[in-house]
């Protein structure tokens, strides 16, 4: 593997010059956890890196913090010292959600992404309004949009093609394909996008087949989905963290968690909106305070039993309030940290200004 395989280009080479002579090396972030990041070095070696305080402080908001897909300058560590991210290199594109008016409520889904692939299906996941929302975000990101109407093996082909046509009519900029991770339909087209150095980011609701598609494109031996399951004990196939996967053929894929991913970049209204059909059913529950879990005559559970509501979506719906609460808490926490830091630094800045003024006074300068 070389830097070019990882997406390195002339602009990055130019940006590198500003950091020369410090002994730092470029790396691309492939994973983000609560405590550190995973990164690839030029030779393809995978290392763990932590963020230095300065880079954290210099970020005005979450969106400015290093994210999966970012290029960073790393000071390599040793047995006693961890490797540290010392600087970020400029982003070419950034797929994120930034709420107007409050910069702390932003989340980067992927940096330096060439293509965002929105995965959906022609069945219960099909939602034109949500797709519009995705297009809006992709349009802003600088990346190109690809839509995969997946699971074509489960529906009459006319149904998948009709869904694809409706989506294509929404936005000229989107390339829409009907795919099946099961029987391989459309995967050839997908492979064509994934040229050397190209990064494609997979997004979409939980259960639409993002990880299965990544598995198919990667090849037989990509066992990541089940590995995650062993560790987290979470439901089969559920992706819990974002991960950049380099393909042997040259391109790179970023697999994203479904529901969590939406929670990360969306706002409460959109989140609720995406469950409007389930919400509508609550009116038919026998009890007005139905928890939709064990209560008798629950319309939502009846829909799951009747097979008209996907059990995975039902689970996500039950989790909705928690997801919204987590969303708020995270942004509040960040806001508080930023405010504390700004306060501390404004005191520092004032002290410094006072001192400079005093020195000037001493010297008799104006
Ligand atoms: N019939 C059919 N099933 C599919 C297809 N693609 C994926 N599946 C199945 O759908 C289920 C969910 O697939 P995943 O790939 O885990 O979905 P995901 O989008 O990664 O879901 P999250 O990680 O929760 O966001 C699995 O049981 C897959 O086997 C397809 O094209 N056809
Ligand atoms: Mg997944
Ligand atoms: Zn109910």
| Main-chain dihedrals φ then ψ at residue 160, nearest 5 degrees | -65, -40
Tokens 């492939």 label which residue? Answer: 30
Global model pTM greater than 0.75: no
For domain 94-265, give the CATH number. 3.40.50.300
**189-227, pLDDT tens digit by residue?**
999 999 999 999 999 988 899 989 988 888 754 444 444
316 lines ligand 1 (CB under 6 A): no
Instruction: Tell me the CA–centroid distance for residue 232 and ligand 2, in Å.
Output: 13
Query: For ligand 1, atom 32, which residue shows the shortest CA distance?
Result: 151
Tell me, what's the pLDDT at 228? 43
150 lines ligand 1 (CB under 6 A): yes
Instruction: Tell me the CA–centroid distance for residue 301 and ligand 3, in Å.
Output: 7
Tell me, what's the pLDDT at 275? 79
**288-335, pLDDT tens digit by residue?**
999 999 899 999 999 999 999 888 788 888 887 777 777 677 666 656
- What parts of the chain have a pLDDT lower than 50? 99-104, 221-236, 260-265, 364-366
CATH architecture for the domain at 275-318: Orthogonal Bundle (1.10)
**262-276, pLDDT tens digit by residue?**
444 456 666 677 678
Q: Name the nearest CA neighbour of 51 among 87, 14, 1, 10.
A: 87
- The residue whose CB lies within 8 Å of the most ligand 1 atoms, and thus the one to mutate among 180, 181, 223, is 181
182 lines ligand 1 (CB under 6 A): yes
- The residue whose CB lies within 8 Å of the most ligand 1 atoms, and thus the one to mutate among 209, 228, 242, is 209
Instruction: Tell me the CA–centroid distance for residue 137 and ligand 1, in Å.
Output: 24
Please measure the distance between the N-terminal and C-terminal CA atoms of the chain and give it in whole angstroms. Answer: 60
Which residue spans of the chain are classified as CATH 3.40.50.300? 94-265
181 lines ligand 1 (CB under 6 A): yes
Tell me, what's the pLDDT at 321? 74
Distance from C-alpha of 248 to C-alpha of 44, rounded to nearest angstrom: 12
Let me know: does 29 contact 94? Beta carbons within 8 Å: no
- The residue whose CB lies within 8 Å of the most ligand 1 atoms, and thus the one to mutate among 180, 207, 319, is 207
Whole-angstrom CA distances from 220 to 197, 215, 223, 228, 252 are 22, 7, 8, 17, 16
User: Domain 10-88 is in which class?
Assistant: mainly beta
Which residue spans of the chain are classified as CATH 2.40.50.140? 10-88
Instruction: Tell me the CA–centroid distance for residue 92 and ligand 2, in Å.
Output: 26
Ligand nearest to the CA of 148: 1
Beta-carbon neighbours within 5 Å of ion ligand 2:
210-211, 239
């Amino acid at each position: 593997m070389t830097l070019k395989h990882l997406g390195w280009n002339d602009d990055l080479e130019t940006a590198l010059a500003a950091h020369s002579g410090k002994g730092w090396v470029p790396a691309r972030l492939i994973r983000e956890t609560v405590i550190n990041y995973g990164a690839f070095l030029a030779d393809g070696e995978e290392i763990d890196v932590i963020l230095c305080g300065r880079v954290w402080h210099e970020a005005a908001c979450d969106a400015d913090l290093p994210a999966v897909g970012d290029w960073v300058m790393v000071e390599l560590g040793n047995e006693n010292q961890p490797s540290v991210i010392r600087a970020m290199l400029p982003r070419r594109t950034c797929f994120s959600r930034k709420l107007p008016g409050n910069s702390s409520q932003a989340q980067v889904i992927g940096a330096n992404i060439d293509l965002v692939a929105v995965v959906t299906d022609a069945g219960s996941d099909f939602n034109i309004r949500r797709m519009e929302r995705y297009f809006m975000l992709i349009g802003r990101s600088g990346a190109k949009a690809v839509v995969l109407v997946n699971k074509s093996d489960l529906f009459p082909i006319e149904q998948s093609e009709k869904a694809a046509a409706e989506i294509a009519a929404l936005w000229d900029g989107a390339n829409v394909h009907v795919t099946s991770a099961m029987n391989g339909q459309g995967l050839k087209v997908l492979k064509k996008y994934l040229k050397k150095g190209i990064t494609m980011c997979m997004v979409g609701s939980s259960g639409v087949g993002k990880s299965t598609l990544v598995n198919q494109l990667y090849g037989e031996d990509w066992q990541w989905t089940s590995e995650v399951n062993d560790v987290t004990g979470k439901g089969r196939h559920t992706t819990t963290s974002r991960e950049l996967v380099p393909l042997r053929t040259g391109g790179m894929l970023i697999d994203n968690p479904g529901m969590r991913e939406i929670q990360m970049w969306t706002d409460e209204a959109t989140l609720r909106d995406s469950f409007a059909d389930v919400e509508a059913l609550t009116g038919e529950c026998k009890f007005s305070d139905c928890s939709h879990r064990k209560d008798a005559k629950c319309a939502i559970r009846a829909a799951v039993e009747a097979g008209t509501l996907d059990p995975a979506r039902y689970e996500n719906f039950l989790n909705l309030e928690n997801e919204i609460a987590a969303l708020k808490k995270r942004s509040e926490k960040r806001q508080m940290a930023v405010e504390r830091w700004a306060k501390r630094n404004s005191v520092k800045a004032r002290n410094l200004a006072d001192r400079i003024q005093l020195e000037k006074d001493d010297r008799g300068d104006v």
